[in-house]
């Protein structure tokens, strides 16, 4: 007979179902038949569920269970008392209901769906169980706890004010006779009226009474020196089913440090240890504070695992890995030597040293620090009100919080950025664009500046770092063997158009400059029009666009055609006019390169036709379209080989396309296939990744493709035809790099469809 289940979802819904396949926790899914669709198998991932109830009669004798009951609270807020079964794993754990008349013989609680776990044994029993204190010591503290909770205000005043008990009793008795026994009498008010104590003494006594009533057994044991804070936390972690972690031997990964702000960490007195896209592990010295879990879940949108650690270790870890806004600013100022940076005024031979104020020196420090770290973008984000100015760096495609600057510096720093970029410091309502030129250690650095107004009268600044760099060779660009040979073949043609497409920051300009470097010979005249010029090469005649005076891409392209070019590179096709001139140039004996912001190579063709390009002219001109993305590369010093499970390989084959997976030789000897996974080491800042590589999608203008373009076929049909003609999509090229050990499948899924 099929096993009946009840699926409990994260949103609180419960659905009856019947198990359709053997239940395996490590698969992270459950396959069932639903009553309304008895012949259709449904698959539900664990991430959508908080618990799975298995119908039947509970029987403790069949399983090995832990002693005593536990209370489990799920994310929807429901509580269950169960006997824990020793069959737990990372995915979740099994429990047998404590009620004999329960309709469920077992419950599988999914880790991400559990809000709280609590052993129902008292803390004193757990302390005795672990041998941290003797029975007499626990009994002594329990007795004292009882006295504190039953202590009257008069007793506290008698002790603290050294008053005579008889005087207190006499004053209270007299007041009762005058007022009457039926009315409530505040002892403190009576004693103040009688002149026995002051108002301040009563308030202190009330505070002492409240504190005594809240005194817990663990605190009393620590006060008497019977146990240490570490032993108390170990007992509490056992009660709440948390791991106890010694932070001295823990190095947090970079994602954990980036997920939470310093304000939250400082307010909750917590420390993030490990994080991925779905969960985060956080250390706390307050296992009894269940609000921490809720606050973190809300702020991170991740599953939370709390672990216990001492307050001393947490404070030391926060000081080591996080800086207060003031400390962050002071550290930058200390590290920056005066005169280390020279600001270059564009089109002028003179330079000005800016070392006359703290703000100027600090801004210079940020710009120089980011450049030295290899950052691509600097984000300055002032928070409203008394919030700090947050500085984030984008490195290897990911943003991370680098500095928190005191709020009183927000306006001054933004104004300084504007001054350096020659922008209007009085204009705060409209976006502004500019650039900053610096020279440091004989290295010229350009920062492209974008100022954007935000709510509350504030402004954000984003600075793209454009250091003068040399192009990479085509062999260093991460091309597959097929893409490399085909790309070299098409750019060797005497005329035609080659497009490189992808989103901002995907390396399009780098790829085109690598192609130009490959073609850059004394017998060829090469013109480039760019905005801005990011990479410089000897032998190229490079032109910077200047929209303020009307010098745009179409103007530059018309000028190039009168300047005897062999090869032309247009930084970006921003409008149909530029595209038409570029296509016409490629049809009149010139090799033209350009970029476009589209998602894939086939989509680029369809987009240009929709923009009004003539299908016949474009099909004749097109040599190829190269789409690309940048992905994180596994750290070569710490990446680790592993044997993937069959389901993982089947998933890769399905994503690649089973026909081409076998055709391209990826399916051979799958039993002995090894992939690589991220580990983390000091060389990669414990992230497991270091640097980036590219994945490509190269659509070649074959005869079949040219005929299809002239017929204006659909995007889907064009993509299928291109794959048949040898093109491999971004995802397919990425999966090939997974098998080569360069990256992980998660990185491929992040940037491709």
Give the pairing type, strands 342-344 and 303-308. unpaired
Q: What is the pLDDT of residues 495-520, one digit of tens each?
A: 999 999 998 888 888 899 999 999 99
pLDDT at 457: 86
Domain count, the chain: 5
Question: What is the 3-state secondary structure of 574-605?
Answer: CCHHHHHHHHHHHHCCCEEEEEECCCCHHHHH
Same domain, 312 and 329: no
pLDDT at 171: 65
Give the domain-ending residue among 300, 321, 342: 321
pLDDT at 489: 94
Residue 292 sits in a domain whose CATH number is 3.30.300.160
* Per-block mean pLDDT, blocks of 10 residues, the chain (753 long): 88 90 86 85 89 89 76 89 80 87 90 84 81 84 76 63 60 62 59 66 68 70 80 81 84 83 86 87 87 83 87 86 62 54 46 52 86 89 86 85 83 88 88 84 81 90 78 86 93 93 87 91 90 81 82 87 90 86 89 91 90 89 93 89 83 86 75 82 80 92 92 90 92 91 88 81
pLDDT at 178: 61
Residue 544 lies in a domain: yes
Same domain, 628 and 713: yes
Residue whose C-alpha is closest to residue 516's, from 494, 486, 539, 546: 539
Residue 229 lies in a domain: no
pLDDT at 603: 92
Same domain, 437 and 499: no
Which conformational region is residue 180 in: left (phi greater than 0), alpha (psi within -120 to 50 degrees), or beta?
Answer: left
pLDDT at 593: 94
Q: Which 3 state secondary structure label does DSSP give 26?
A: helix
Same domain, 544 and 560: yes
Residue 488 lies in a domain: yes
Residue 247 lies in a domain: yes
Same domain, 463 and 483: no
Distance CA 74, CA 52 (A): 12
Same domain, 435 and 480: no
Residue 421 sits in a domain whose CATH number is 3.30.450.90
pLDDT at 353: 35
Residue 48 lies in a domain: yes
Contact (CB, 8 A) for 379 and 399 = yes
Distance CA 143, CA 136 (A): 10
Residue 235 lies in a domain: no
Residue ranges making up the domain that contains 34: 4-119
Give the domain-ending residue among 96, 119, 142: 119
Same domain, 254 and 132: no
Same domain, 296 and 368: no
Residue 175 lies in a domain: yes
Question: With the C-alpha atoms ordered 365, 370, 376, 382, is the resulting torsion angle positive or negative?
Answer: negative
pLDDT at 671: 67
Residue 514 sits in a domain whose CATH number is 3.40.50.300
Same domain, 208 and 146: yes
Contact (CB, 8 A) for 32 and 17 = yes
Residue 344 lies in a domain: yes
Give the domain-ending residue among 321, 348, 363: 321
Same domain, 352 and 314: no
Q: What is the dihedral of CA 451, 455, 458, 461, to 10 degrees?
A: -30
Same domain, 162 and 293: no
pLDDT at 691: 86
Same domain, 316 and 390: no
């Amino acid at each position: 007979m099929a096993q009946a289940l009840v699926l409990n979802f994260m949103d609180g819904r419960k659905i009856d179902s019947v198990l359709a396949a053997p239940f395996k926790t490590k698969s992270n899914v459950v396959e069932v038949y639903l009553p309304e669709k008895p012949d259709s198998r449904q698959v539900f991932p664990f991430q959508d569920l908080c618990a799975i109830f298995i119908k039947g009669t509970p029987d403790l004798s069949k399983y090995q269970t832990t002693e005593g009951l536990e209370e489990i609270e799920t994310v929807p807020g429901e509580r269950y008392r169960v006997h824990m079964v020793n069959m737990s794993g990372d995915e979740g754990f099994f429990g047998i209901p404590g009620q004999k008349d329960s309709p469920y013989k077992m419950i599988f609680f999914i880790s991400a769906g559990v809000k709280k776990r609590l052993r129902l044994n008292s803390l004193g029993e757990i302390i005795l169980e672990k041998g941290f204190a003797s029975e007499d010591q626990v009994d002594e503290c329990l007795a004292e706890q009882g006295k504190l909770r039953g202590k009257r205000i008069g007793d506290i005043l008698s002790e603290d004010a050294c008053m005579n008990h008889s005087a207190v009793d006499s004053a209270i008795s007299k007041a009762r006779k005058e007022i009457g026994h039926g009315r409530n009498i505040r002892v403190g008010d009576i004693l103040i009226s009688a002149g026995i104590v002051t108002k301040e003494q009563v308030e202190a006594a009330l505070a002492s009474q409240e504190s005594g009533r809240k005194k817990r057994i663990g605190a009393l044991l620590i006060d008497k020196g019977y146990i240490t804070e570490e032993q108390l936390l170990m007992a509490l972690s056992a009660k709440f089913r948390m791991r106890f972690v010694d932070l001295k031997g823990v190095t947090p990964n970079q994602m954990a440090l980036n997920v939470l702000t310093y304000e939250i960490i400082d307010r909750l007195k917590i420390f993030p240890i490990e994080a991925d896209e779905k969960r985060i592990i956080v250390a706390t010295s307050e296992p009894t504070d269940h609000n921490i879990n809720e606050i973190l879940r809300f702020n991170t949108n991740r599953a939370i695992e709390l672990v216990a650690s001492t307050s001393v270790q947490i404070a030391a870890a926060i000081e080591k890995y996080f800086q207060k806004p003031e400390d962050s600013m002071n550290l930058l100022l200390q590290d920056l030597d005066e005169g280390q940076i020279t600001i270059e005024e564009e089109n002028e031979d003179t330079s000005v040293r800016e070392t006359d104020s703290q703000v100027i020196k600090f801004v210079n420090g940020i710009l120089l620090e980011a450049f030295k770290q290899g950052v691509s973008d600097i984000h300055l984000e002032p928070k409203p009100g008394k919030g700090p100015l947050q500085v984030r760096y984008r490195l290897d495609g990911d943003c991370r919080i680098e500095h928190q600057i005191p709020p009183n510096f927000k306006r001054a720093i933004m104004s300084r950025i504007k001054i350096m970029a020659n922008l209007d410091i009085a204009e705060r309502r409209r976006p502004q664009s500019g650039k900053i030129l610096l020279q440091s250690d004989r290295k010229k650095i350009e920062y492209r500046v974008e100022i954007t107004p935000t709510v509350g009268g504030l402004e954000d600044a984003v600075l793209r770092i454009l250091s003068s760099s040399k192009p990479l060779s085509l062999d260093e660009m991460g091309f597959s063997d097929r893409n490399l040979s085909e790309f070299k073949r098409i750019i060797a043609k005497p005329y035609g158009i080659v497009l490189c497409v992808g989103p901002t920051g995907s390396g399009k300009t780098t790829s085109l400059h690598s192609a130009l470097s490959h073609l850059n010979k004394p017998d060829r005249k090469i013109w480039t029009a760019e905005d801005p010029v990011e990479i410089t090469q000897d032998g190229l005649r490079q032109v910077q666009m200047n929209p303020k005076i009307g010098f745009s891409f179409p103007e530059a392209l018309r000028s190039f055609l009168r300047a005897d070019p062999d090869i032309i590179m247009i930084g970006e096709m921003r409008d149909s006019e530029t595209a038409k001139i570029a296509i016409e140039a490629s049809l009149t004996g010139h090799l033209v390169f350009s970029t476009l912001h589209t998602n894939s190579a086939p989509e680029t063709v369809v987009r240009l036709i929709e923009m009004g390009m003539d299908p016949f002219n474009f099909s004749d001109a097109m040599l190829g379209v190269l789409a690309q993305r940048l992905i994180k590369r596994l750290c070569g010093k710490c990446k680790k080989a592993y044997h993937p499970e069959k389901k993982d390989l089947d998933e890769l084959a399905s994503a690649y396309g089973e026909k081409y997976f076998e055709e391209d030789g990826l399916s051979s000897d799958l039993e002995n296939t090894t992939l690589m996974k991220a580990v983390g080491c000091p060389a990669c800042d414990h992230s497991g990744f270091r640097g980036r590589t590219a994945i490509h999608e190269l659509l070649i203008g074959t005869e079949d493709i040219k005929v299809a373009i002239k017929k204006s076929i659909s995007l889907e049909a064009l993509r299928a035809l291109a794959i048949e003609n040898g093109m491999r999509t971004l995802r397919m090229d990425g999966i090939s790099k997974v098998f080569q050990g360069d990256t992980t499948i998660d990185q491929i899924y992040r940037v491709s469809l």
